[in-house]
Amino acid sequence: MAIEENTEFPKDYQHEDYKYLTTTEGPLVNSRTKRNASTSQISGNKSNKVVVSVEKKRLGGIRICQWCYKAKPDRCHHCSQCNRCILKMDHHCPWVANCVGFYNYKFFLCMVFNCMATTWTIIGTSYPVLQRTISSPASFDYKIAYFIVTSYILSAAIAILITLFFTFHMYLMVSAYTTIEFCEKKNEEDIPFHMKQPYNRGFCENMRNVLGENPLLWFVPICKSSFCIRTIFSGKFQI
């Protein structure tokens, strides 16, 4: 459906992006340009610093959520379970009953890391009991011996699965991917996403963007408000 230029207040969702295409700023303008508008006018520099949108529609329009009727920034997706748009959405986790995205991805990684460390600790500490059960089965009741062996096998299987899951998310973090981007954009025909890597800023910078600036607190489930505010408003860290 074509967009009519004489439509001042379009109501259909097909026209929602027209008002952004006809403006000089749009929804993805750096907030600092508005605060420094008076300073730029005095100095004679009237150029606005516009944040270039990487993800656009097929015809170049700004992405509009058909459910929220709002402009969607890069890496933002609408979750049907939470019924809202999630910034830098990774996936909807049923184990925490919430979406994993920009604000809680570090806490999700810390949870997976602690689960992995706990399972391997259980395997390491219970190995002598398993070894004694196998070497001298007469010293245990067969029911207890069966319980020990079965529990150890299940713990080892869970530890391997959680380790593989944590390794996968570490790969996504150091490569500046999300689970949605890894699954949906790996078969793109025009300029593959994994070859272009528009959000990759290097190994160390990608780690700092998610886990914070202090390496000693990377896997500690805390997040300083100064880091979050600086990430959102200053534009120093890339979403």
Which tens digit of pLDDT belongs to each residue from 133-150? 888 877 778 888 888 899
The model's pLDDT over 170-203, given as tens digits with 9 standing for 90+, comes to 999 999 899 998 888 766 655 667 677 888 888 9
Does pLDDT of 36 surpass 50? no
What are the CA-CA distances from residue 149 to residues 107, 126, 141, 159, 210 (Å)? 33, 10, 12, 15, 39
CB 89: neighbour CB atoms within 10 A?
Answer: 22
On whether the CB atoms of residues 89 and 79 are closer than 8 A, the answer is yes
State which H helix or E strand residue 84 sits in.
strand 84-86
- Lowest average pLDDT, out of 31-40, 73-82, 188-197, 226-235, goes to 31-40
User: CA geometry: angle at 87 spanning 82 and 90, to 5°?
Assistant: 75
Alpha helices (H) in 95-224, listed in sequence order: 105-135, 142-174, 179-184, 193-196, 203-211
User: Is 93 a known active-site residue?
Assistant: yes
For residue 50, the 8-state DSSP code is B
Does pLDDT of 19 surpass 90? no
Residue ranges of domains in the chain: 1-72, 105-234
CB 36: neighbour CB atoms within 10 A?
Answer: 15
Query: Measured on CA atoms in the order 153, 158, 160, 161, is the torsion positive or negative?
Result: positive
More confident: 212 or 14: 212
Closest C-alpha to 223, from 208, 234, 236: 208
What are the CA-CA distances from residue 126 to residues 130, 163, 194, 209 (Å)? 6, 19, 42, 38
pLDDT at 71: 86
Q: Could you say which of 65, 79, 82, 93 is catalytic?
A: 93
What are the CA-CA distances from residue 205 to residues 47, 50, 54, 98, 214 (Å)? 29, 22, 19, 27, 12
More confident: 20 or 215: 215
Cα separation, 19 vs 38, whole angstroms: 25
Residue 223 one-letter amino acid: C
- Lowest average pLDDT, out of 36-50, 51-65, 194-208, goes to 36-50
Q: How confident is the model at residue 50 (pLDDT cuts 50, 70, 90)?
A: low
For residues 149-154, average pLDDT: 93
- Give CB contacts under 8 A, 24+ apart, made by 152-155: 152/123, 152/126, 152/127, 155/119, 155/122, 155/123, 155/126
